[in-house]
Amino acid sequence: MCLLVNFMLRVFFLALLLATQSSIAVAPGRGTSIIAAGQEVDVGRTVVLWTDEQGFNGYEKRCIDQVGGCCDEDWDRYTTRKGLTHRTMADLQEVVSQFVLHFDGCVNSRSCFKSMHNRTRPSGGCGLSAHFMIDADGTIYQTLDLAERAYHAEQENSISVGVEMCNRGRYEPSEMSRLPAEYRTRPRREVVINGFTYDAYDFRPEQYDSLLALTRTLLRIFPKIKPIIPEEGGSPYLNTLADPLDFHGIVGHLHVDLQKQKWDPGAFNWRWLTRALQGFSFPIQLRAFSEVPRTRDDLLSARKAAFFSSEERVTGFFPLAPARLWHSGVHLRGLRGAPVSAPTRGRLVAARRAEVNGSSTSFVLIRHEVELDGRPFTFYSLLAHLSLPPPSETNPLEWMRALAKPERAGERFSLESGAVTLLDERIETGDIVGFLGRVNRGSEQGPELHFEIFTVEKPPEALERTFRLMKAAADGPIARRAALIGLVDKNGDSQVDASELRDLFHGADLAKRQALRRLVVLHRHEWGDRTTLAEFMGLRELSGIPEAERRRIYEVAIKPYVFWTDALARHAGLPLNQVIYSYNPLTFLLSLSAYATQIDIPWPREGVADGGLEPRRLSYVPSDDWLRPTLSDSKELQLPPLIGVDLQAKRKDQIPLIELPPTDQR
């Protein structure tokens, strides 16, 4: 399966709400945004709007190339949603609770649109409609604003958004000569729906990728649409629901057709969708990967790319920094201003927007919950050294646009003043939460992301095979584990400096690096306010160091980045003692993806032994590693094309009109 990628920014608010079709001022041409209640929302895939020259306009009142019957009159192919009193996003969010999937029985979106637009409605009138069509090449066509009630799913129309995915549906050998050539090799499978067996065509990978992007966007827009499908006994339920209006999530037309005649979306892979919605994304592009893959070969390739990206750095390795300070994350290099994405769905619980001496101290903290071994498992991701535009109605980040509302002036003021701001914003996998900022500190210079993952509870059984636990809760801000220090320390002075870290991560001893990649450390987070200046100055390891030097290290390496307070702990569900389990975040994401897709990726057996203290005091601290800039490679980072990038939209005259009898009924 190709990866969902290319989240390029076009997200901004339109000044006016949609009153009629003519009131929208959307520039024509290729974009990646859909329209909901007059507002643009980025999807990250090619979108063609009804207002675009190459779009399909669901507001047209006349049939296409057809006369007679209902086509001799003007008809609206949409109506007003029941319960939608105002055409605002807030009101629309209170109404919409379903996403309905269809196949169209056609082979391209041009044919699909004409078929819908000219069809007689069972209830009388001319024309059916759906908010979206997804063509065979993955292009998303939007025909109506989501504020409209489209005619696509009977009694569900007022509460749902509908999408028609181009797919012939039922396999019929006699019509093969009329279908595009790719249907000769398109996968098929048997599917049993409402007790009837169908030999049906599957969908193309490009369509799955676009549907996933669209689904994630709708989940973000509409809180009442849950990331669930109808299931029975842990398997997709492929029968009509007893009470379709009571289900708030993602359904097929088959689930809501009370006459039990509809069987679309046919051979759609429901299990893939549920796994993908709980999928994982790298926070920035790592070579050719943006999303964490879901196949074994791609996972192995992504693992290699991810560790290369994090370990090519001058410093910023997991789990140690120079001077034996704990370092709970990894540093990832990228293009300054590049989008930074949420690794999976969750709640953004805290943020800061600030800078100290040219270094970004901005961050977001996200709480995530996944299911492992049938039980909920909570973890936190910290994305730091961000660039965050000020909150405003035109901010490209949705969570910051929310702060521009008048009633959230307190949170907005807190963020603009540089304080740690407590929030509770829903975030979906791959949502852009910030942009890559700059670090200006010692040997770390230029754009980079600090990325870490930690948990309050110990690694669950599902991850025990991957990770090796080291207990260091009593160590304080400086590591005292003899086995860990001995792994890095080359000259036996009990010290760890930048050159020793570089030698380890750039050297030939892969076994040592693999051992550190698999480590999970129980320790006190280094950026909590429990790590005070007084404690740092009194550390026994530093007693031989001049006071001024100790103070400078604290002021540069710890103080600017402290974010963990008692208020944050209570708000986010974190411990007051600030002791957590820190993981290499790349190993963590790769392992979760492998678990979710039931793929076994090999990890070496070697680990770092637990226990044992390093008793010796430090005779010096390599303060230059933190304070003095070194010559660095200033060449622009070059990234290869993203895997799974979608296609350019076609012109209408490049899409053949192929009219075939419907196949969406039993």
pLDDT over 70 percentage in the chain: 88
User: In the predicted model, what is the mean pLDDT of the chain?
Assistant: 85
Residues of the chain within CATH 3.40.80.10 domain(s) are 21-277
Express each pLDDT in 87-109 by its tens digit.
999 999 999 999 999 999 998 99
Average pLDDT over residues 209-236: 89
- What gap in Å lies between CA 235 and CA 232, rounded to an integer? 5
Is residue 654 pLDDT above 90, yes or no? no
Q: What pLDDT is recorded for position 313?
A: 73
Of 455, 353, 463, the C-alpha closest to 411 is: 353
CATH number of 21-277: 3.40.80.10
Cα 78 from Cα 120, distance rounded (Å): 13
- Pairing verdict, β 281-286 and 289-291: antiparallel
Residue 209 near residue 138 (C-beta atoms within 8 A): yes
What is the pLDDT, as a whole number, of residue 151? Answer: 96
Smallest Cα–Cα separation from 210: which of 457, 92, 27, 45?
45
Task: Quick: pLDDT tens for 294-319.
Answer: 788 888 999 999 998 888 876 789 99
Q: Residue 559 is encoded by which pair of tokens?
A: 């103080």
Residue with the larger pLDDT of the pair 540 and 198? 198
Kindly tell me if the per-residue pLDDT of 12 is higher than 60.
no
**Measuring CA to CA, which residue among 38, 58, 59 is closest to residue 109?**
58
Distance CA 356, CA 378 (A): 31
Residues 6+ apart with CB under 8 A from 632: 314, 443, 445, 446
Q: Is the pLDDT of residue 171 over 90?
A: yes
**pLDDT given for residue 546 in this prediction:** 82
Cα 295 versus chain centre, distance: 18
Q: What span, in angstroms and rounded, lies between the C-alpha atoms of 71 and 120?
A: 9
How large is the average pLDDT for residues 216-244? Answer: 90
Average of pLDDT values for 44-67?
92
User: What is d(CA 63, CA 116) in angstroms, rounded to the nearest whole number?
Assistant: 10
Instruction: Give the DSSP H/E element, type plus range, for residue 341.
Output: strand 339-341
For residue 131, what are its two tokens?
């908010």
Residue with tokens 């050159």: 499
What's the confidence (pLDDT) of residue 632?
45
On the question of pLDDT at 83 being above 90, the answer is: yes
Q: Are 80 and 44 in contact (CB under 8 A)?
A: no
Residue 311: its H or E element: helix 296-311
Per-residue pLDDT tens for 457-507? 998 888 888 899 999 998 888 888 888 888 888 877 777 888 888 888 888
- Name the pLDDT band for 611 (thresholds 50, 70, 90): low
The confidence band for 331, taking pLDDT boundaries of 50, 70 and 90, is very high
Residues composing the chain:
666
- pLDDT category at 144 given cuts 50, 70, 90 is very high
> pLDDT tens-digit profile of 334-375?
888 899 999 998 999 999 999 998 889 999 999 999 888 778
Higher local confidence (pLDDT), 232 or 30: 232
Residue-level pLDDT at 29: 41
* Distance between CA atoms of residues 218 and 146, nearest Å: 10
Mean pLDDT lowest for which of 6-15, 33-42, 44-53, 444-453?
Answer: 6-15
Distance CA 318, CA 520 (A): 10
Least confident segment among 204-208, 468-472, 656-660: 656-660
